[in-house]
């Protein structure tokens, strides 16, 4: 099942982008230190937001279905490029590895078994599964004019 089309348009600013997802509009940009104007989150922050929001939604849905007393989920994420020689699980020692550290805080009177199960479920959220699967990105030029709403 395909999701809604996401449209990203460049602006006159060096890196600022206008993002449209259905009726939603927001900006993406690079920080000033990277030559942007910091008009919105950078692409990696948006990726982390997707993973964090999916994680939280998945855990809340699972807990509701099980009637577990999960009151709130807070997901904190960071992205880093790690050298493979720093990665004990890596096969290629000269490559870089993309690492996302995700910390999940669960509020509510959950027992240890429920907490452990929720951590397992976090690794099954759809965005997590997408990011850890083989991804096939197909790029093509669009014949429509850049400013046109196609």
pTM, full prediction = 0.85
Q: How far is CA 133 from the centre of its chain?
A: 14
Residue of 82, 130, 126, 122 whose CA lies nearest to 102: 122
Domain ranges of the chain: 1-41, 42-135
Q: What is the pLDDT of residue 92?
A: 55
Q: What is the pLDDT of residue 96?
A: 79
Task: Encode the chain (150 residues) as per-residue pLDDT tens digits.
Answer: 678 899 999 999 999 999 999 999 999 999 999 999 999 999 999 999 999 999 999 999 999 999 999 999 999 999 997 765 555 555 555 567 899 999 999 999 999 999 999 999 999 999 999 999 999 999 999 987 665 554
Domain range 42-135, its CATH number among 3.20.20.10, 3.30.300.20, 3.40.50.1400, 3.30.70.890: 3.30.300.20
Secondary structure (DSSP) of 19-60: EEETTEEEEE---GGGTS---S--HHHHHHHHHHHHHHHHHH
CA distance 82 to 60: 31
Let me know the angle formed at the C-alpha of 32 by 28 and 83, rounded to the nearest 5 degrees: 85
Six-digit token pair at 105? Answer: 């805080």
Q: What is the pLDDT of residue 144?
A: 74
Q: What is the pLDDT of residue 115?
A: 98
Six-digit token pair at 108? Answer: 């509510």
CA distance 150 to 107: 44
Q: How far is CA 62 from the centre of its chain?
A: 20
């Amino acid at each position: 099942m395909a999701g809604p089309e996401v449209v990203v348009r460049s602006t006159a600013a060096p890196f600022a982008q206008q993002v449209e997802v259905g009726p939603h509009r927001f900006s993406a940009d690079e920080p000033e230190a990277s030559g942007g104007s910091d008009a919105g989150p950078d692409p990696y922050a948006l990726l982390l937001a997707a993973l964090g929001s999916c994680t939280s939604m998945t855990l809340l849905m699972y807990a509701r279905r099980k009637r577990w007393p999960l009151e709130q989920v807070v997901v904190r994420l960071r992205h880093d490029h790690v050298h493979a020689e720093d990665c004990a699980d890596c096969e290629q020692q000269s490559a870089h590895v993309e690492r996302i550290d995700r910390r999940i805080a669960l509020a509510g009177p959950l027992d240890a078994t429920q907490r452990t199960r929720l951590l397992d479920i976090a690794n099954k959220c759809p965005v997590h599964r997408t990011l850890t699967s083989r991804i096939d990105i197909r790029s093509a030029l669009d014949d429509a004019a850049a400013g046109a709403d196609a």
